[in-house]
Each structure stands twice: as structure tokens, then as C-alpha cells.
Structure 1
Amino acid sequence: MRTLTKEQVLRCQRHAHHLDKKLPRKQRLEAVSACGLVNSPPGSWELAMAVRVAALTRDDLRSDLIETKSLMQTWSLRGAPTIFPTAEAGTFLNALAAQPDEVPIYAQPLSYTAQALAAHRHELLEALRQACAVLEHKTIVGKAQLDHDLAEAMKPFLPKTVRDHADEPSLVAENQTLLEAAVSYLLRQCALEGRVMMGERQGNQPAFTSPAVWFDHPLDRSAPPRQIVEKFLHCYGPATVQDFARWSGCGLPQAKRLWALTEADRVEIEVEGKRGWMLEADLPLLESLPPESPSIQLLGPHDPFLDLPQRGWILPDKSAQKKVWRTVGSPGVVIRDTQIIGFWNARVQREKTAVQFTLFETLDEEKRFQVQTEMAQLQTFLGRSLGTCRFVE
């Protein structure tokens, strides 16, 4: 077993996330390919791309997602809307689809709804698979409308004992039926099976369609399942199977099945007394990567780099961690030399953005100017101008 310092590992992790040096614009798909980009809240993937790719425009991203369709968006990691290269659908979809004896991603809470419906999960899932065929004939706008339309389309494939309860009130949300709630829980598995995806947004609403319709052909989902674990380890190793389960959203049995596929490709590493696994192929990076030059960097809310299992490496103060990693409404962060030194929140009013930076340590005027310059560049990328900047220490 090899012993490494956290500085060595962080240098590799930042390199894997393309945060040590921006990619050229023509290589922008590499930034998405690294570990996918969870797009929740909507638009967060754009900020993640802006800090990884030089001279990028939002038109580039729209072209990749809507026109050339070299990128696609559907539910994947942790059951959240995720953007990834279309050519890697097998890695970000098929690999994460649960086998019959495994609980699908996002479906863990389904049991109470299934019990109220007097139905079994497999029965509901098979009916939903059949119902997804409606997406081959029409685009559905809005998530609530999608749940409703698919629930209605499921009914002919369900026994009367289940249909009798289908329109009863949901146990988890207002203005939702039991069957619509079941659809919401199980849609992630159908997305991973290549049956539903997001198309072009209609105003502020997502639009849903079938991949076969969107691309005019079925998705190629034939990539080896081990590749999703390899991507995780490349970006977040050294890590454990439990870390992989949290990042992917898989239940532990499914995570262990996928993890085992990489047994021959990973090595155990110790950092500050804690053990984890890295890809053996990444070890040469420890010697070849040069030290990063001192810099200040802004990352947007929910940036993939913030999914590191080792939060204490980039922000040791546990009270400060609670302010950065929130259940709802996580902020963006200010990073200096691999360490989080503060966070930021933005509010848009009349095309101008007011930003507040809350700092964990003092910055001199020169560093504050760097922070403001970085923020102004991000706002320009978003098509807005930077209004006020306030620093709180």
C-alpha cells in the first residue's frame, strides 16, 4: 500500500476535473466527460463549464445540447438531471440501471406508495416501461404533466386492484396522485434504460421526449459498466465503495457489484491515516503534474469538484463546511490554492447581478480585485453585467 499526501492527491483531483488549466474551446466535451455534470438547479452546468473551458460561450453549449446533440440530458447520477456526452450514454445510463434484484436509483422511498397502491415495485415499473412509449409520439412539457400523462398511460397495464387506488392522494406531495408519485420515483430507472430524456426547454419548463425520437435512432448503451467507476476514481480517488454509492446514488449492493468490476485496475492508498482506492493508471500523475501556480478561482453552486468525499481537505473547519454544503440552496465557493476560503451568493435584478462574498479569512485589496474580476467574467458569460460586490468577513 502506498502512502500519499493530501496535496499530491488534490493536485491529481483538480487535474482530473480540468481545474488546474482550462481546456481549449474545441475540447470542451472532455470537461463534460470527466464525471458528467449534474444540472440541478437548471443552468448550474453552464457555470461548471465556464470555469473549465477557455473562450466558451453559452451558444456553444446550446449547440452541443440542442443542435449537434453531442451532449444529452436526462436523469442519471443520484437521480438528478445530468448532462454527459451522447456517445457515453452506456456509461452514464446503462451502467447505473438497477438489475431486477436491486433497488433503482431514487426509488428507495417508493415502498410506502407501492403499499398504498397494493402493488409491487416490479409490477409498477413494467407498466411504466410500457407507458413510456407515449413519448415516441409526443413531447410532454413540465415534470408534473409528465408524471400525470405517464400515470394515465400506465393504467391499462395494471390490474384493477391497483387502478382502484391510482387516483388517491399522494403520500408525499399535494396535487399529486399515488400513481403519479410512483411514476416520479421510477422514472429514473426508465431514463437509465434509455426510455426518456430532456429535450429543448420550453420557456422555463423542461420538455421530455424519447431518445429514439430525439436522435432518430436508439441510444448506444453498450459501454462496459466498469467505466462509471473508473470515472469516479479518476476524479475523486482515493475513495471507497461507500463514497461511490453516495456519488452515484446507487444502493450499496449495486455499488459493490460495479465496484468489483475494477478490482484489477485499482490500488489501495493511505492519506493521513485513511485508506481508499485509486486507479493504478493515475499513479504516474503524482510525479508528472507540476505544482499549481497560486490563484483564486470561483466555482458555481453544486460544482462537481465539491462532490469530493474528502471535504476536510479543501475546507477543514466543520462549522464552515455546513455553510458551503447545504441540503438546499448551496452557494458558490471561493478557492485559493486548492482551499475554500469563502462562499458567494448572487441575486439578479434587471440584468445586473448583486453578489455577496462571505470570507473565512481576510483578503487584501489586490485579492479582492481578483475575485471581482473573476465574477465579472462569469456574469459576462451568463449574459449579465456585474452590479454590486459586497465582502463580509
Structure 2
Amino acid sequence: MTVPVPSVTRQQALSWRLRRQHLISGAADATEVVRTLGAVSIFGSDADLAVRRRLASPGPPGEVARALADGRLMRTFSFRGSVQLMAPETAGAYLALRAAGRQWALKSWVEHYRLQSDEWPDLREIVRDVVAGGPVSPQAVADALEGRARFGHLAQEFAEPNYTFLKPFAWQGDVALGPDLDGPLTLHSPATAPAWAAIPPLDEAGPAAIRDYLGAYGPAAPEHLDYWLGEGLSAGRSRLTRWWADLEADLVEVDVEGDRRWLLAEHADELGAGRPETSVVLLPGKDDWVMGPGTKDTWVVPSRQRTAMTRGANPVLVDGVVRGTWKVHDGAVVLDAGELPDEAAAEVERLEGLLRTP
């Protein structure tokens, strides 16, 4: 007997996603926001605004800095080689995927850094010992390596510092970036965050990351995972295909106006019962709402808006779809989005309140 595929409208699907991403009703705290989204970019976007727009009771600007300072959030190298905010309890799964490619074992790396792949465990142990009492400057690691027969030549990579060389230590959970967003670069152990859950085995991390993605960005298709976890974390298409197959019993196919998408089965009733509601949401450029599915996804980014979103313009969402952009001029939020629903006025007022520094 063939099980019928449930059908929903695109507006239903996007309304559900807006709620899942805390854009209709806010989250309790910054950790919940970042845990839901997976990662929030530090560079090219206003991470603090992205988080505070999703809070039920947002405080003054600086929420991200406060959460980093007390260990509720961490920042590290992950997606696309850049720096992201992550929730300590889920960061390890994403880092496991990023480390799976073992970039440090490539012939070019071995030859350039004069470091064999089997020498990494001893080097990592030295680095972990130095940063355990951090935050410390990368120079502290350089000082610990100076003069060592096996690793002395690598001291300069930390003294400079060489960000490319630092990244594998972050991916393997040896270091995280210090909490100060405005000062010089520092390193500390991710274990300083009380909820740090370490790096899980790869075949646990992969399915967990897929479940997290579908829970925040669903209904989605395998190509969205290729973009988010494949291009973003270099997880490898064959691994993603295998993990998807492993989760098949937990997924349900949904027909969204002719598009085949998938969702966690536990969310199917909630999606089907949801009713679209008109909404206007203003977000910072390169927000996860846009970057999670990618600017090629015309559900969220119509083709005429793609160039602006790729360049980092601030999106105006109407029912989850980018309809224009906004900017601040003389202290006021100015919209460039044509005719908008009445809800736009309240959203502008909300955003101006979030941007206002006490």
C-alpha cells in the first residue's frame, strides 16, 4: 500500500520555518537561538542583531559578547573556514564534520609545514596544555614550541599567527577563539564553556547535524544539505548520502506545491496543522535565514534579489521571502521594498529599538 505524501503550501512551510527559527515567537536566550541555527557568522553579518531579533525579551546591544564572556556561546573556525558563533553543546558535531577531511594529512600540508600526520597528536597535546589556562595569545603557544627539536620550526605559525594553520586545532576541539570580540586574538580551551560536549564520533555527528538542519531549515532537500554541510563544512557528499539513508525511517516526504522536500517525521503534524500568517521581518545581511538554504534557493531569495543578498544587503522578509532591503539613515530604518503589509510599521519600530544604544 502506497502511503500518500502530505501536501502543504510554500507559505505554510515558510511560516513553520519562521517559527522554528524564533522569528515569530522569540527564544528564551542566545544559546537557544544559536543552537537552533547551528552556527551564526561573526564576519559579514551583525551576529548580535541576528541573535537579539530572535529573543522573546531582547536586552541591549552586546548580548553576544555577554554570552561569550560567561561561556553560554563559543566562537571558533567552522563553516567555510570562517569564524562562527556556536552553542557549546552542539558545536562538536559540526567540528567533527569539518575535521573529517583531515586537511592536515594532505601531501601539500605535510611538505609545507614539515609535519607528518602522525606527529599531530603530540603537537595537539602541547597546544591543549598551553591554552587550558587561557585565554592566552597565540604567542604563548609559539613560546612553548620554541627550541623543540620536532616542533620548533612551527613556532612562527603561532607567532604570526597563521590562521590557516590554527584551523585544524579548532576543528579537532583543541582550541577555541577567546571571548573578546574587540581585542587581539586569544585562544582558550572549548572546555571552558560549561556545556561543551567534546567531539563525538563522526557517524554520530553526521546524522545529528542533519537532524538539526531539518529541524531549523526544513522542509529541505538533499541538495540543501550538500550546500550547508557539504560546501560549508566539507563533509563529503558520499558521507551525507549515507547519513541521509541512515535517517530515512525518521524522515517524511512532503509535497510543497510540487517540490519534493523532507522533514523530520516528528514535525510533520505541526507543519500540516500550521496556518500561514502574514509577517514582516527585518534581518541583518547574510543572516542564517538566507544563508542556511543558500541564495540559490528561490523559495527564500527570488532571482531578482539574489545579487543583493550575495553582497550582504539587509533583507526585508514578507512571509519569509526576501522582498527588498533596508538600511539605517540618520538613525532611522529606511526600507527599499515597495508596498508592504501593515505589519511593516511594527517591525521597523522593533528593529529601531534593537539598534538603539542606551
TM over 0.5: same fold? yes
Q: Does 1:39 align with 2:41?
A: yes
Of 313, 319, 327, 1:337 maps to 319
SS in 2 for 1:277: strand
CA contact (8 A) 2:253 2:261 kept: yes
- Aligned-partner SS, 2:324: strand
**Corresponding residue to 2:283 among 294, 299, 303:** 299
| Number of the residue aligned with 1:173 | none
Could you tell me which residue of structure 2 aligns to residue 132 of structure 1? Answer: 127
Number of the residue aligned with 2:304? 319
Q: Which residue of 2 aligns with 1:227?
A: 208
RMSD of the TM alignment (CA)? 3.8
| C-alpha spacing 1:319/1:151, structure 2 compared with 1 (3 Å) | farther
> Partner residue of 1:374?
350
Mean Cα deviation higher: 47-56 or 234-243:
234-243
Tell me the distance in 1 between the aligned counterparts of 2:40 and 2:74.
Answer: 12
Separation of aligned partners in 1, 2:348 and 2:58:
19
Q: Distance in 2 between matches of 1:81 and 1:39?
A: 6
Paired residue for 2:21, among 17, 21, 26?
A: 17
SS, match of residue 314 in structure 1: coil
Secondary structure at the aligned position of 1:342 is classed as strand
Residues 314/216 of structure 1: CA separation in 2 closer, same or farther (3 Å cut): closer
Q: 2:74 aligns with which of 72, 75, 84?
A: 72
Match of 1:7 in 2: 11
Whether contact under 8 Å (2:127, 2:141) holds in the other structure is yes
Structure 1 residue 234: Cα displacement: 1.4
Percent of aligned pairs with the same residue? 23
Does residue 53 of structure 1 match 2:55?
yes
TM-score by length of 1: 0.71
Shift of 1:65: 2.7
1:200 partner SS: coil
Q: 1:54 to 1:184 in 2, by over 3 A?
A: same
Q: What whole-Å deviation, never above 9, does each CA across 1:258-294 have from its counterpart, x for those lacking one?
A: 43442321233443444343212121112222322x2
Alignment partners' CA distance in 2, 1:88 and 1:289 = 28
How far 1:222 moved relative to its partner?
A: 4.8
Q: Is the 8 A contact 2:252 2:265 kept in 1?
A: yes
Q: Aligned to 1:322, what secondary structure does the other structure show? A: helix
User: How far 1:46 sits from its partner (Å)?
Assistant: 1.6
Mark the CA change 1:11 to 1:49 in structure 2 (over 3 Å): closer, same or farther: same
Aligned residue for 1:313, secondary structure, equals coil
Q: What letter is aligned with 2:99?
A: A
Contact 1:194 1:219 in 2 (8 A): no
Structure 2 distance, partners of 1:357, 1:37, is: 27
1:130-187 Cα shifts (integer Å, max 9, x gaps): 442321255334xxxx3x6656756777869x95xx79xxxxxxxxx78889953353
**How much has 1:209 moved relative to structure 2?**
0.9
Distance 1:242 1:127 in 2: 38
**Structure 1: distance between partners of 2:161 and 2:109:** 7
Q: Counterparts of 2:293 and 2:195 in 1: how far apart (Å)?
A: 36
CA shift, 1:200, in A, is 2.5
Give the drift of 1:203.
Answer: 3.7
Structure 1 unmatched runs, 5+: 168-176, 385-393
1:29-49, CA deviations, whole angstroms, 9 ceiling, x for partnerless residues? 332221233232287222122
**TM-score with structure 2 setting the length:** 0.77
Does the CA-based 8 Å contact 1:342-1:357 persist in structure 2? yes
Give me the whole-angstrom Cα distance separating, in 1, the residues matched to 2:309 and 2:75: 26
Q: Which runs of 5+ in 2 are unaligned?
A: none
What is aligned with 2:187? Answer: 208
How many angstroms does 1:298 deviate by? 0.5
CA deviation string 1:210-229 (max 9, x = no partner)? 234x3589754459422211
Q: How many residues align?
A: 343
User: C-alpha offsets along residues 301-357 of structure 1, whole Å, 9 cap, x if unaligned?
Assistant: 2221112246311232x232111123xxx121111222211112447xxxx746553
| 1:345 to 1:206, Cα distance in 2 relative to 1, 3 A | farther
